[in-house]
Structure 1
Amino acid sequence: MTTTNEAWADEIRIMQEVLQPWKDEDGQVIFEYDIPRLGKRIDVVLLLRGLIFCLEFKTRQEAKKENMRSYIEQVLDYALDLKNFHLLSQNRIIVPILIHPWISKSSSAFQASVYDDSIYNPLLTGPAGLQQLIADVLAHAGATAPDPSLDADWIISPYSPTPTIIEAAKRLYENHSVEDITRHEADKVSTDRTIAYILDVIKTSREKGEKSICFVTGVPGAGKTLVGLDVAVKQSYQNGEKLSEDEGAVYLSGNGPLVAVLTEALAIDNQKKCQARGEKKNRSDSRREVGKFIQIIHRYRDNMLAKLKTPIENGVLEIDPKKAIKLAKAGYGEVEHVAIFDEAQRSWTHKRLADYLKRGGTYGNKLKIQNFPYSEAAFLIWSLDQREDWATIVCLVGGGQEINTGEAGISEWIKALNEKFTHWRIYISDKLTEAEYTEGRVNELLAGNDKVTFSPELHLGVSLRSFRAENLSAFVHALLSFNPDAAALYDTIKAHYPIVLTRDMAKARAWLRKNTRGSQRSGVLVSKTAARFKPLAVDVLGQGDENAVHWFLMDKTDIRSSNYLEDAATEIQVQGLELDYTCVLWDADLRCENGRWRYFNFNGRTAWREESGQTESSLERRKYMLNAYRVLLTRARIGMVICVPEGNSNKTVDGFPEDATRLPEFYDGTYKYLKSIGLEEI
């Protein structure tokens, strides 16, 4: 079997022979060039006459004909990464070449991609044909003279990559900082500063024996989940690979699909990493290790609920000594020192949690607790407060992203701190005073609390998700609020972040397939209250977490993959995650009429019913429906198509609508509004 060293020696020998015609010119040959976004290396990068060649070599032993497609995607991914995330490659021609030992005839058709990004379609050759192929490409590109403009600075060029949460999580598990794998432009992105601030709060709390809570805010896609994961990893793995059992942190989310996808992605990566080191580890062991610091919040919460003394008397919670072991340092607080709550705004109201416990629960605990006195936020603080030494809570807060009935928003956390946990120190983002968070009442709610520190370090203001469109979240907010600035905001992003409009799902799918390249992901999204999507040949992804894992992680050859564009995910399944390209299928549940939104629920049979009441619950449901579209419209990293169906205008022979649930007037107002903002129809 060919060893790695032998393969490198062969590559060096081949490149020495191949580059003889240009030996007197300025150029660069870089072996094993690292691409942080993928956690992989390009075998060889050749900088010659102003062109960038990405060369991927396959040895005779590893090369398999059935893997040719994946080899081609691999080298194309390298080219795409350089184009999208490498500063000194952004305005250059990039040529991906696969060197395969079984190929006797080199590519002869040179075609620059149709995406206007100066990347050649991947070329194939054997080692013997590489020299002539490079010469032919140089001639085709018009690079006929020496060009020293690509010099040694290219090698140290800054990156500004925006990994998906899945890819970033893999790198986080290898103890890389978030900023190392996102951007090096520290003046724009504050992820590392935010992480450092939180870790300093944790350190201070440990040294002084205090209880503390940090509230971190951020625009959609700013990296809140990345920050939470990195804090959990850095705190849990303070000594490199060794888990710090007594100082550990846990990352908690109520988002089942997010936890399932992250856990599986990390487990797969961890298993491969261990096998590469010669260690035996199966997938279940890897999942178990990942589970030390990524958990479902309901299970974490229910573990403490099971230790309560019942029945609860006078609204006072107590640990039952018969149900818990008193620990030397923590007392009865059987929780980690540090808990990171992702999407903390989605914690349950007192009513929802009390009703859940009154009926015995639905998540498997079957605990029946009558007259439960706390909201979920208050109970989670209470759980950490049971530690007798110290504790820190980190709340990751998304503005305007409560999407389920019974989600309390951030006010419940503040209320609990003011009324029940006045000894806790509060570190809070100064952006929590904005309207998207508790209607801008945070200052008012905290006015009488003397343990509050406001810090700009706890706000993530730049979207990492949309590396092409940092103004995307502002545009979506303006669109949904009928802000007249929406059109101007779109003008600032449309050149680099396309948002196109159609009324035809076939065109939407064609647009996605045209634009999605290499291992990039695309998918169809609908709101959970959408109902009339089947006529468009769209099905809704099943609710099981396993379905989300397949949808997000399987490659484009698997029909369960998002890339097949058959199953649409809802806001519940994609919150906290993202794709490269999306199609947002806009149904008749949210309709624009006369400059305002109207909200509808389908009765499951024959008709839509308008949600128009003025009760608190009705107003809350409308807020959740609008927030659902806010989530859907901020899931794409590179671009999206919005499909507003035409509806069905046909009549029966009796003159009645053929489909009264899909009348054109249900959709026309929304389409006209989106077009008025400047979205171009395809």
Structure 2
Amino acid sequence: MRAYYTADREKFFSDSDDQILGELARANTFALDLEQKGAWLQQIPILRNALMAIDAFTLYFEFTIPRMGKRADAVVVIGDCIFITEFKVGSEGFDRHAIEQVEDYALDLKNFHAGSHHLSIVPILVATRAKTSLKSQPELALDHVSKPLLSNVIDLGDILRNAAAPHRHRQLDVAQWASSGYRPTPTIIEAARALYARHDVRDIARSDADAINLSRTQDYIAAVIEDAKSHQRKTVCFVTGVPGAGKTLAGLNIATQRSESHADEHATFLSGNGPLVDVLREALARDQSARTGRSKKHVERDVRAFIQNIHHFRDDYAGSATIPSEHVVVFDEAQRAWTRTQASKFMQAKRGIADFDMSEPEFLLSVMDRHPDWCTVVCLIGGGQEINTGEAGLSEWMAAIRARFTHWRVYASGQIVQPDYDLNHDARSFIQQDQVTLSDDLHLGVSMRSFRAETLSGFVAHLLNGEAEAARTAFAQLTAYPIVITRDLNVARCWLRRKARGTERYGLVASSGAYRLKSEGLHVKASIEPANWFLNDREDVRSSWYLEDVATEFDVQGLELDWVGVCWDADYRYSDDGWQHHKFAGTKWRHVNDAFAQLYLKNAYRVILTRARQGMVIFVPKGDADDPTRPPGFYDATYAFLKACGLQDL
């Protein structure tokens, strides 16, 4: 249901206040409190007065904004212009958060509602006790979304009439507009909040032909779980996907669905990505506390049980033979689980377990194998995402299954044989085993993070492979996704601030080895607090908004921003021989010769180049001829290569 109440001019002026209130109350799925009822009873006469002079319109009360999990107070369609009206009942001023909220609604419709792509959209904030209106004339951007108008009750009618004048006599099939496809692509933080609040994933995620695979993947995994449960089997699913394709969204949805409708299974979401866990936990705790009125401290206990750090899960079971309460576990970024060498060294040195001699995948499977009846393990695998020493990729999972868990059934994406997933080239023999079933439904091939650029991952792959011509061809397809380049960091900052509207978030990212960006005021060794950087308000100096603290690949993997400034250093530099790998040690750059270390550095840049949903600016320093650690030659060839890939200067 697109709105709680819909009416043309005739119906709106013939329905009584009680009739309208009755329709709104019947459509409302939550308990109707007196505050909400009072707000509606004030909004109805305000809109009657404001729309009196408009001879034709369609009004929607409580219009759904699915990606945000919210509803706009009122949407009025006049001619071919959409007015999104948000009321702040009892307010005497125009709060910045309220201004951003109504602008977010407008941008959400523009970006994700098919019927609104080519229409003018004017957001209006009405403060019911404001004495004056602060902004009454639309200022349309290039995408025909106006800056928010700020109106009091008295001026609302004149503002609507004047703003609608150029549009009143243009035809629009309003019913078709309202029912047209909605293709939301929430950030992982927005998705986690909505899913944890028991929204269905289909309400917040795209369901168009390009992204239908997400639903198929979830349905396939649900069928595997049900089969394991009914036949008392142990199963593992390997789900692959390009960066931003929705692997984490699928995993969170599986965990929330199983927890809600199958309480006996105690499904949980595990990740070895510490920053992702911290950010999602903090976001859910803040949101649930605000929704329920419970203290954040009490809410955090429930959130921690739902989203767990995989290393803490491991440590809890390493010292005991306890059977886990969870029958379904989702391992996010399972390719980053530790090798036998890394896990054994850590557990012996840090946890005092002298006889620990297993890889992380082997141990985690052994814990779940303690169940006497059934269990399902879902492993979400990102291609080309290993970024740290000791990360196993798929090889350790496959080795453990072959050695100890031949009684488990394996369901896998056929993509696991591709080089980005199969680092040790042993997947082809693995999939020949009778216990393995392949399915295309377990691969997510379309990026939904960059809703303006589904082909971004292809462009980045060509760029990092040194394929300038192929990158240029791919870049030409990114018509709605700006990528620009500059040699001036302040120019990059200005571009980010200018591009972002509403609460669209921006920030600076760099490789963790970008030590000589310190000369530009960017200290990658000064660690950020990811929850503050991703979640705090723009007035908080610790937040990404301030464009002071730079996040590395370890901070941002699995997360995203709307607009990103990628800061490029000489650790990954271009030359006539292609990309060169370096590490800054002591007072100079040293060549990186180890093949895995080279791969980790390449993947670090893959991660930071795929964090932006709407566009990015790449900053390449000019260097300094008087500084032997950053002469211009370390940067100029990189800049020239990026230009050869199609990027234009700011």
Q: TM-score, normalised by structure 2?
A: 0.92
Looking at structure 1, the residues matched to 140 and 546 of structure 2 have their Cα atoms a distance apart, in angstroms, of 22
What is the deviation of 1:305? 0.9
For residue 123 of structure 1, the aligned residue among 143, 146, 149 is 149
Question: Deviation per CA, 1:440-467, whole angstroms, max 9, x where unpaired?
Answer: 8455231551111100111111111000
Looking at structure 2, the residues matched to 680 and 335 of structure 1 have their Cα atoms a distance apart, in angstroms, of 55
Q: Given the alignment of the two structures, is residue 305 of structure 1 paired with residue 318 of structure 2, yes or no? A: yes
Gaps of 5+ in 2: 1-32
2:99 and 2:148 in contact (8 A); partners too:
yes
Q: Given the alignment of the two structures, is residue 642 of structure 1 paired with residue 613 of structure 2, yes or no? A: no
What is the deviation of 1:357? 2.1
Looking at structure 1, the residues matched to 576 and 87 of structure 2 have their Cα atoms a distance apart, in angstroms, of 60
Q: Given the alignment of the two structures, is residue 5 of structure 1 paired with residue 37 of structure 2, yes or no? A: yes
What is the deviation of 1:556? 0.8
Cα RMSD for the two superposed structures: 1.7
2:512 and 2:525 in contact (8 A); partners too:
no
Name the residue aligned to 2:436.
452
Aligned AA for 1:628? A
What is the deviation of 1:541? 7.5
What is the deviation of 1:433? 2.1
For residue 20 of structure 1, the aligned residue among 42, 45, 52 is 52
Q: Given the alignment of the two structures, is residue 147 of structure 1 paired with residue 147 of structure 2, yes or no? A: no
What is the deviation of 1:630? 0.4
Aligned AA for 1:487? R
Looking at structure 2, the residues matched to 175 and 677 of structure 1 have their Cα atoms a distance apart, in angstroms, of 44
Name the residue aligned to 1:177.
200
1:434 and 1:440 in contact (8 A); partners too:
no
Name the residue aligned to 2:415.
431
- Distance change (3 Å), C-alpha of 1:447 and 1:341: closer
Larger deviation, residues 33-42 vs 293-302? 33-42
2:259 and 2:265 in contact (8 A); partners too:
yes
Secondary structure of residue in 2 paired with 1:532: helix
Aligned AA for 1:536? E
For residue 488 of structure 1, the aligned residue among 470, 473, 476 is 473
Name the residue aligned to 1:610.
591
Question: Deviation per CA, 1:182-222, whole angstroms, max 9, x where unpaired?
Answer: 21314533222211111111111111111100000111001
Looking at structure 1, the residues matched to 135 and 510 of structure 2 have their Cα atoms a distance apart, in angstroms, of 43
Matches within 5 A, 1:233-632: 233-238=256-261, 244=263, 246-275=264-293, 281-307=294-320, 319=321, 332-359=322-349, 361=350, 366-370=351-355, 372-439=356-423, 441=425, 443-483=427-467, 484-493=469-478, 495-540=479-524, 542-543=526-527, 547-604=529-586, 606-612=587-593, 618-632=594-608
2:92 and 2:131 in contact (8 A); partners too:
no
Where is the helix percentage greater, Structure 1 or Structure 2? 2
- Distance change (3 Å), C-alpha of 1:594 and 1:179: farther
Question: Deviation per CA, 1:131-182, whole angstroms, max 9, x where unpaired?
Answer: 111122123xx22x42331412222222111111101100111222323212
Aligned AA for 1:538? L
Looking at structure 2, the residues matched to 634 and 437 of structure 1 have their Cα atoms a distance apart, in angstroms, of 18
2:92 and 2:129 in contact (8 A); partners too:
no
Looking at structure 1, the residues matched to 372 and 319 of structure 2 have their Cα atoms a distance apart, in angstroms, of 19
What is the deviation of 1:595? 4.4
Looking at structure 2, the residues matched to 176 and 192 of structure 1 have their Cα atoms a distance apart, in angstroms, of 15
Aligned AA for 2:312? R
Secondary structure of residue in 2 paired with 1:42: strand
For residue 109 of structure 2, the aligned residue among 82, 86, 90 is 82
Name the residue aligned to 1:662.
630
Question: Deviation per CA, 1:327-364, whole angstroms, max 9, x where unpaired?
Answer: xxxxx4234111111111101111111111222x1xxx
Looking at structure 1, the residues matched to 646 and 313 of structure 2 have their Cα atoms a distance apart, in angstroms, of 46
2:89 and 2:129 in contact (8 A); partners too:
no
1:189 and 1:460 in contact (8 A); partners too:
no
What is the deviation of 1:596? 1.2
Looking at structure 2, the residues matched to 384 and 3 of structure 1 have their Cα atoms a distance apart, in angstroms, of 49
Looking at structure 2, the residues matched to 299 and 472 of structure 1 have their Cα atoms a distance apart, in angstroms, of 34
Q: TM-score, normalised by structure 1?
A: 0.88
Looking at structure 2, the residues matched to 102 and 174 of structure 1 have their Cα atoms a distance apart, in angstroms, of 33
Aligned AA for 1:74? Q
For residue 237 of structure 2, the aligned residue among 196, 210, 214 is 214
1:432 and 1:440 in contact (8 A); partners too:
no
Question: Deviation per CA, 1:516-545, whole angstroms, max 9, x where unpaired?
Answer: 11111000001111101222122337547x
- Distance change (3 Å), C-alpha of 1:448 and 1:122: closer
- Distance change (3 Å), C-alpha of 1:110 and 1:158: same
Q: Given the alignment of the two structures, is residue 100 of structure 1 paired with residue 127 of structure 2, yes or no? A: yes
Gaps of 5+ in 1: 276-280, 308-318, 320-331, 613-617, 650-656
2:417 and 2:428 in contact (8 A); partners too:
no
Name the residue aligned to 1:654.
none
What is the deviation of 1:292? 1.7
Aligned AA for 2:614? I
Looking at structure 1, the residues matched to 228 and 140 of structure 2 have their Cα atoms a distance apart, in angstroms, of 55
What is the deviation of 1:662? 1.3
What is the deviation of 1:411? 1.2
1:345 and 1:397 in contact (8 A); partners too:
yes
Secondary structure of residue in 1 paired with 2:302: helix
- Distance change (3 Å), C-alpha of 1:557 and 1:125: same
1:433 and 1:440 in contact (8 A); partners too:
no
Secondary structure of residue in 1 paired with 2:160: helix
Looking at structure 2, the residues matched to 578 and 480 of structure 1 have their Cα atoms a distance apart, in angstroms, of 20
- Distance change (3 Å), C-alpha of 1:595 and 1:673: farther
Name the residue aligned to 2:255.
232
Question: Deviation per CA, 1:592-646, whole angstroms, max 9, x where unpaired?
Answer: 1114111111124x2111113xxxxx11111100000000000000000011111
1:29 and 1:44 in contact (8 A); partners too:
yes
Question: Deviation per CA, 1:286-333, whole angstroms, max 9, x where unpaired?
Answer: 1111112210000101111112xxxxxxxxxxx4xxxxxxxxxxxx42
Looking at structure 2, the residues matched to 225 and 206 of structure 1 have their Cα atoms a distance apart, in angstroms, of 23
Aligned AA for 2:531? V
- Distance change (3 Å), C-alpha of 1:403 and 1:412: same
Secondary structure of residue in 2 paired with 1:356: helix
2:463 and 2:471 in contact (8 A); partners too:
yes
How many residues are matched?
617
What is the deviation of 1:107? 4.6
Question: Deviation per CA, 1:651-677, whole angstroms, max 9, x where unpaired?
Answer: xxxxxx2x2111101111110000001
1:106 and 1:133 in contact (8 A); partners too:
no
1:432 and 1:442 in contact (8 A); partners too:
no
Larger deviation, residues 429-438 vs 45-54? 429-438
2:115 and 2:178 in contact (8 A); partners too:
no
Name the residue aligned to 2:68.
38
Looking at structure 1, the residues matched to 132 and 647 of structure 2 have their Cα atoms a distance apart, in angstroms, of 45
For residue 226 of structure 2, the aligned residue among 197, 203, 206 is 203
What is the deviation of 1:488? 0.5
Aligned AA for 2:119? R
Question: Deviation per CA, 1:80-126, whole angstroms, max 9, x where unpaired?
Answer: 11111111111111111111124333356635344x11011111111
